[in-house]
Amino acid sequence: MADKAVLAYSGGLDTSVAVRWIKEKYGYDVVTFTVDIGNVANLEAIRLKALNAGAVDAVVADAREQFISDYVWPSLQADALYEGEYSLATAIGRPLIARLLVDVAREKGAVAVAHGCTGKGNDQVRLDVGIGTLGPDLKIIAPAREWGMTREELIHYAEQAAIPVPVTRKSPYSIDENLWGRSIETGVLEDPWVEPPADVYAWTRDPDKTPAGARYIEIEFVQGVPVGLDGTRMGGVKLVETLHAVAGEHGVGRVDHVENRLVGIKSREIYEAPAATVLLKAHAALQNLVLTKDQLRFKALVATQYSDLIYNGLWFSGLRHNLAAYVEDTQRFVTGMV
């Protein structure tokens, strides 16, 4: 029996071709892994697609609650906002994906892990570092970084290999979504003089078309973790989805930022993060009420460092662990438990 590789699979053209390409190039049987962190409409459809593309096995998981409780809430407690603008949605999803990929690799006895990142962005580094930390013995394959195929060549490859080509039109942007936010880049956005075209936005209403008047929401925090809205207790996913709808309707959460990438270049990014924007503001305001001036000053330093760690893919690092302990401790002050 051939050795196995576990491939992070989105159901798109690149990762569908990767299923076959990995088998051809490396001889591995491919097990796909697809995780929903608020980015997948139909896991079952993707599972079938993976098998159609030639996967020997296709694993899917709904990790939305885990994403919110183990990754998003700690980053909120830390006030993580990269360069004061980006609430880190894409970045904070990567360590979870790395962890689950390694778990599936262990479960299936795989020798390699593969992902669809190109060589241009931050995400490849986050996944490589996360996988390398948790599974140093696993070989990492990034087909899109190796194969050098254009989109046309990919489509041709898919047709030759009888892989059903997704009929969706190619978006003019590169988009990544999860529960914490939506990241949009490339295309005309690379020119910072260009005002983002209306089709960039999908989660937030145009500020000209928002309802008149203010909408008040009461958010209940326990040790920096939001647990309820307007007097109703609810779980993390429900809370984020509820705030997302309300804030998005009011046009809250649009960010237009030229960001300093990990790989050394500047990059113009648009983000939509309605729930994250409200929660980060509310959490900061709450802390401002109850922490001392010195605590606030120091926490801001920690927040910068913590954001950089998340952005740079260093979630599974000693320093992140140390900072998390500090952050947890300050949250006890916020709730009056010290």
CA 337, CA 333: separation in Å to the nearest integer?
A: 6
Question: How far apart are CB 263 and ligand ARG at their closest, in Å?
Answer: 10
Question: What's the chain's length in residues?
Answer: 338
What contacts 24+ positions apart, CB below 8 Å, involve 322-325?
A: 323/78, 324/74, 324/78
Burial-class residue 300 by CB neighbours within 10 Å (0-12, 13-18, 19+).
exposed
Active site residue 137: no
CA 88, CA 71: separation in Å to the nearest integer?
A: 11
Catalytic residue among 123, 126, 182, 307: 123
Active site residue 317: no
Q: Using CB under 6 A, pick the residue from 79, 123, 128, 272 that binds ligand ARG.
A: 123
Q: Using CB under 6 A, pick the residue from 29, 79, 176, 272 that binds ligand ARG.
A: 176
Strand-pair partners of 289: none
Question: Quick check: helix, strand or coil at residue 289?
Answer: helix
Concatenate the DSSP letters of all residues of 17-36 into one string. Answer: HHHHHHHHHH--EEEEEEEE
Active site residue 230: no
Residues 73-92 within binding reach of ligand ARG (CB under 6 A): 90-91
Question: In which residue are the tokens 């894409």 written?
Answer: 90
Query: In the complex with ligand ARG, which residue's Cβ is closer, 40 or 219?
Result: 40
Active site residue 206: no
Question: How far apart are CB 131 and ligand ARG at their closest, in Å?
Answer: 17
> Is residue 13 part of the contact set for ligand ARG (CB under 6 A)?
no
Q: What DSSP character marks residue 69? A: I
Question: How far apart are CB 257 and ligand ARG at their closest, in Å?
Answer: 9
> Is residue 39 part of the contact set for ligand ARG (CB under 6 A)?
no
> Is residue 174 part of the contact set for ligand ARG (CB under 6 A)?
yes
Question: How far apart are CB 286 and ligand ARG at their closest, in Å?
Answer: 26
CA 73, CA 180: separation in Å to the nearest integer?
A: 10
Q: Tell me the window of 25-33, 134-142, 174-182, 235-243 that interacts with ligand ARG (CB under 6 A).
A: 174-182
Name the residue type at position 261: R
Query: In the complex with ligand ARG, which residue's Cβ is closer, 128 or 185?
Result: 185
Query: In the complex with ligand ARG, which residue's Cβ is closer, 79 or 176?
Result: 176
- 197, 279, 224: which is closest to 246 by C-alpha? 279
> Is residue 185 part of the contact set for ligand ARG (CB under 6 A)?
yes
Instruction: Spell out the alpha helix ranges (H) of 13-88.
Output: 13-26, 43-53, 64-67, 73-77
Query: In the complex with ligand ARG, which residue's Cβ is closer, 90 or 330?
Result: 90
Interface ranges with ligand ARG (CB under 6 A): 90-91, 121-123, 174-176, 183, 185, 259, 269
Q: Which residues are catalytic?
A: 14, 94, 123, 174
